Amino acid sequence: MNKYLVVSVHDITADSRTQMINDLLFSSLRSLDVKPLTIAFIPAYFNAEGKIKNPEKRFGDKLKRLVGEGSVIAMHGYTHEKRGLFEREFNPCSEESARNLLDLGEGIFEELGLAKPTTFVPPFWQTSNDALAVLAQRYETVPVKDGVFDFKNDLFHPALPVYDSPALFSGYALGNLVGNARTRINVKFNDNNPLVRIVLHAHDQYQLEDFGIVRKLVYRYQEEGRQLVTYPEAMRRLYQDQLAAVDNTQR
């Protein structure tokens, strides 16, 4: 069975508050040769006065450099806004609002010279059913809470054996992950999940050594034959692998 590893960085924005991880990402992870990455990029951001801003071109150039190295820039909402205690940017959200937000976000991709995104990571892993219908039409890969919805191949979804590694990622923000990784680094490397995801969040506080831990995890997994690919690539391959398995059993 083929096994895959996805390293993704969520909540990347042009906001100066996330510059630390941005800089680390753009320098350290690259120099540590952890690639390709899946970047969940929030196109617009709020400045100190709470105004919605578009990133400057040179921020787009940084992202383009990652794309040049094979990484994928997924769209992660428009502003990723949390409206009140339970309201999220795409939940509740009508089809029309979803379309508006996606148009705005994609407009920024275009402004920055980035290709139209094919992967959409819902902010807070939440969408309304209406928004989900729009997302499913527009994007090839849309992971949502508690798993992965492969919309194009929806029939296969229930059988698609995709899990997060319980040792590495269980829905915690990444500070926890790194905290866990520190204490559990020897605990559970030989799990048989076809897909393991390591997720970093741009707003969490990292130290350089944390990136060293990520690199170690990646190397260890690669030594076991796990292939580091982008999220949409993992989805495509898992689907192909599954088709091949079905083929074999019918022979």
Q: How far is the CB of 70 from Zn ion (least distance, A)?
A: 23
Say whether residue 106 binds Zn ion (CB under 5 A): no
Q: How far is the CB of 13 from Zn ion (least distance, A)?
A: 10
Count the Cβ atoms, other than its own, within 10 Å of residue 60.
22
The residue from 3, 4, 9, 11 that contacts Zn ion (CB under 5 A) is: 11
Q: Binding-site residue total for Zn ion (CB under 5 A)?
A: 2
Half-sphere exposure (CA, 13 Å, Cβ side) for 97? 13
> In the complex with Zn ion, which residue's Cβ is closer, 202 or 217?
202
> In the complex with Zn ion, which residue's Cβ is closer, 12 or 235?
12
> In the complex with Zn ion, which residue's Cβ is closer, 81 or 191?
81
> In the complex with Zn ion, which residue's Cβ is closer, 10 or 226?
10
Distances from the Cα of 182 to the Cα of 185, 217, 236, angstroms: 6, 11, 32
Q: How far is the CB of 247 from Zn ion (least distance, A)?
A: 38
Q: How far is the CB of 104 from Zn ion (least distance, A)?
A: 17
Task: Choose the binding region for Zn ion from 2-10, 63-71, 159-167, 240-248 (rule: CB under 5 A).
Answer: 2-10
- Which residue of this chain has its Cβ atom nearest to Zn ion in the complex? 11
Task: Choose the binding region for Zn ion from 5-13, 22-30, 228-236, 239-247 (rule: CB under 5 A).
Answer: 5-13
Closest CA to 121 of 19, 67, 201: 201
Q: How far is the CB of 41 from Zn ion (least distance, A)?
A: 10
Q: How far is the CB of 22 from Zn ion (least distance, A)?
A: 15
What single letter denotes the amino acid at residue 92? P
Distance, CA of 44 to CA of 55 (rounded, Å): 7
Task: Choose the binding region for Zn ion from 4-12, 173-181, 184-192, 217-225 (rule: CB under 5 A).
Answer: 4-12
Task: Choose the binding region for Zn ion from 7-15, 128-136, 203-211, 240-248 (rule: CB under 5 A).
Answer: 7-15
Count the Cβ atoms, other than its own, within 10 Å of residue 80.
22
Which residues form the interface with Zn ion (CB under 5 A)? 10-11
